[in-house]
Amino acid sequence: MSSGGRLLLGAATFFLLACSRSQQEAASNAKLNAIEKRITTAEKELADLRTDSLDHQVRLDELEAGAASVNTQEETYSVARSAIGTFLIVCKKVQPQLDGYSLRVWIGNTTNLIFHGATIHLKWHPPPTERNWFTQINEKDVEIKDVLLPGFYREVQLVVAPSTAAELRNLTIAIKPNRVSLPLARR
């Protein structure tokens, strides 16, 4: 083989090796991009699972506290449970205020006990779909002096502020009676 042929053979070999190396690099880059995409997807799914987990934990805490999830868009019944009784809650009217909402709520005493006043614990937060919603949970205690008679509703005015319409959709109410009595038996 002549020196020109050897040179041509060497150049062809070098060219093939270079092409092979660039093809390997392209394949490696494609694999690396696919792995990076899978990691990004997994990180997003993990963040979504964390948010869902926190949402479930907040809702579980509310259920354990006996809180009622109150529908402020329709007049539906919710049930709040305390250590000594169960209450029906109905949101009858919602009125916007400067930085929140005023609610007209009916509280129904389903027991045979008379409750003399109560502490109403309100909790509201942005929709769980919002990022870091769990850091924006608002809570407020309202003392009522009303007597909650057995088998009757009592209308109560509550102010949920500061709040937005979206936060109001995530309103829970828990009730802790202050003083309890039983009606006297008639002879």
| CATH code of residue 148 | 2.60.40.1620
- Which position has the higher pLDDT, 9 or 86? 86
**Per-residue confidence (pLDDT) for residue 143, from 0 to 100:** 96
Residue 185 has pLDDT above 70, yes or no: yes
State the total domains in the chain.
1
**Per-residue confidence (pLDDT) for residue 15, from 0 to 100:** 61
Residue 60 has pLDDT above 70, yes or no: no
Q: Specify the pTM.
A: 0.67
Q: Smallest Cα–Cα separation from 82: which of 8, 179, 17? A: 179
| CA–CA distance, 73 with 84 (Å, rounded to integer) | 29
Residue 118 has pLDDT above 90, yes or no: yes
Find tokens 């991009």 and name the residue: 33
Dihedral, CA of residue 162, residue 168, residue 172 and residue 175, to nearest 10: 60
Find tokens 């509280």 and name the residue: 107
Across 128-153, average pLDDT = 89
Across 62-85, average pLDDT = 85
Q: Which run of H or E residues covers position 114? A: strand 114-124
In a domain, 55, yes or no: no
**Per-residue confidence (pLDDT) for residue 100, from 0 to 100:** 92
- The sheet with strand 138-148 has its strands ordered as 68-70, 171-181, 114-124, 138-148
Q: Which domain holds residue 170?
A: 65-181
Find tokens 């990004």 and name the residue: 40
In a domain, 122, yes or no: yes
In a domain, 74, yes or no: yes
- Which position has the higher pLDDT, 182 or 9? 182
Alpha helices in 65-160 (DSSP H): none
